[in-house]
Structure 1
Amino acid sequence: MRRNLRLTIIVVMIFFIMTGCIVRNQSSAHNTIEQGSKIKDTYIYNVEDNFKGMKLEINLTLTKGNVKFELKDPNGDIQWSEEVTSDKPLKEIKSFDKIVGDWTLTFESIDNSGEGEFDLQFNRL
């Protein structure tokens, strides 16, 4: 009986380790934007050869000011760029074709007057 319990525990641990490897193919962040602070945050997501593509979800809400962001593929080409204001929050999900390498997402406060928060999540396709 104890032997079966040990075997079950080992199998469950192996399962969690394996699913942990799968989860490494997603990345998320949450950040607060404070008024008067210069913002220039950069997030990098590596698209690997076995991916079909990449998906990015951004939820950016401001109570004041303007923030712009830019997503560049590994070739340096801009794939998504937008400016967000307190009048125009952003909650969007976009999918991108596979380009292997590091994708770079940059958030920047336009005049350091931005105040709010954002969540983002990269996922493999």
Structure 2
Amino acid sequence: MKTSSLVSNYKKATIEMLLLKLLSEQDMYGYQLSQQLKKRSNQYYTVLEGSMYPILYRLTDEKYISFYEKKVGVRQTRIYYHLEDAGRSYYNGLLQSYLDFSELIQFLLDSTEGDTYEKEIDIKA
């Protein structure tokens, strides 16, 4: 697998969690979400709006986030996304699964024959 394919897979696996993380800080509109990821990662983590909006729509359908319109100019309105309580719980679950799985992968990378991972984690493969 090429490195670029690996990075693409990592992004697909983490974008939902990262969008929810940003929305846990404040309500944001779509372009603002993508720019925050880009800015905070020093341009390494970029998300095209075309990839991001289907995720936002699904999270809205699942009632993890909601949205509202806000007028920002004479003729312009923005759609802001808001994290709901169910979304906060969902985000916390995603984050814990990510941390547990990352710890397991690091253990496996550092392990040698005979080592066994002892911590109990709930990972749905």
TM-score, reference length from structure 2: 0.26
Return the structure number with greater relative CO, CA threshold 8 A, min gap 6: 1
The structure number with the bigger radius of gyration is: 1
TM-score (norm 1): 0.26
